[in-house]
Chain A
Amino acid sequence: DVKVTQSSRYLVKRTGEKVFLECVQDMDHENMFWYRQDPGLGLRLIYFSYDVKMKEKGDIPEGYSVSREKKERFSLILESASTNQTSMYLCASSFFQGRTEAFFGQGTRLTVV
């Protein structure tokens, strides 16, 4: 059974704090993704990674960075949290080729106050 696990279900942080969101998958997937989910805007791609130490910007990378030091772990970093980064963050992973279904984590509801 594929598991994509995000480190926190709910987080409350203060404006200006550095925030780390962690995602771990146990299926040896090459691809990992970070999305932001807001009502009416769907799932917007922040960053994705297709290999260790590789990263590509998505549609809304501003204010975020990522780290992939190990294949199973993909971290999203908010360098200086702002209130407009209050959102649901979803991590996903998939194989690079072959069976390409993406599996999602349970999401992290981040509130920046």
Chain B
Amino acid sequence: GENVEQHPSTLSVQEGDSAVIKCTYSDSASNYFPWYKQELGKRPQLIIDIRSNVGEKKDQRIAVTLNKTAKHFSLHITETQPEDSAVYFCAASYNNNDMRFGAGTRLTVKP
């Protein structure tokens, strides 16, 4: 099955700085790559996703890039705010079946 690795496990930035979280996957058949945000005590929620026919996708302050050749994808958050503090998970799957997640990144944004 798919194996997803995520780095770093913790990330601390100053408010206004950018944050980057990186993931690699093992199965070249994977074609769907979502990112989830989990705030303390809450359920994970989708923040952005990308499909394998696209190299980059943006939504306001967040963006995701995908390098299919290298089998890695990254989440970029610009102008970070304290409310961005959470655990972020990347995932990979083939057509949304069999979805595997990374181990998560705890992002702390210091005011």
User: How far apart are the CA atoms of A22 and B43 in the complex, in Å?
Assistant: 16
* Chain B contacts for A100, CB-based, 8 A: 32, 34, 49, 95-96
Contact status A42-B97, CB under 8 Å:
no
Contact status B103-A48, CB under 8 Å:
no
Partner of B100, one of A41, A59, A92, A95: A59
For A, the interface residue count at a CB cutoff of 8 angstroms equals 27
Give B105's nearest chain A residue, CB to CB. Answer: A42
User: How far apart are the CA atoms of A6 and B46 in the complex, in Å?
Assistant: 19
Contact status A42-B103, CB under 8 Å:
yes
Contact with A along B96-111 (1 / 0, CB 8 A): 1111111110000000
Query: Looking at chain B, what size class is its interface with the partner chain?
Result: 20 to 34
* Chain A contacts for B6, CB-based, 8 A: 42
Q: Is A33 an interface residue, CB under 8 A from the partner?
A: yes
Contact with A along B17-34 (1 / 0, CB 8 A): 000000000000000101
User: How far apart are the CA atoms of A43 and B91 in the complex, in Å?
Assistant: 9
Contact status B100-A104, CB under 8 Å:
no
Q: Is A35 an interface residue, CB under 8 A from the partner?
A: yes
Which residues of chain A in 26-85 are interfacial with respect to chain B, using CB atoms and an 8 Å cutoff?
A: 31, 33, 35, 40-45, 48, 50, 56, 58-59
- Spell out A's residues near B (CB within 8 Å): 31, 33, 35, 40-45, 48, 50, 56, 58-59, 90, 92, 94-97, 100-102, 104-107
Interface CB pairs A-B, < 8 A, 13: A40-B9, A42-B104, A43-B44, A43-B91, A45-B100, A48-B98, A90-B44, A92-B99, A94-B96, A96-B97, A97-B96, A102-B46, A102-B96
- Spell out B's residues near A (CB within 8 Å): 1, 6, 9, 32, 34, 43-46, 49, 89, 91, 95-104
Please give me the 7 A-B residue pairs with the lowest Cβ-Cβ distance, nearest first.
A100-B96, A42-B103, A43-B101, A104-B43, A42-B104, A101-B46, A42-B101
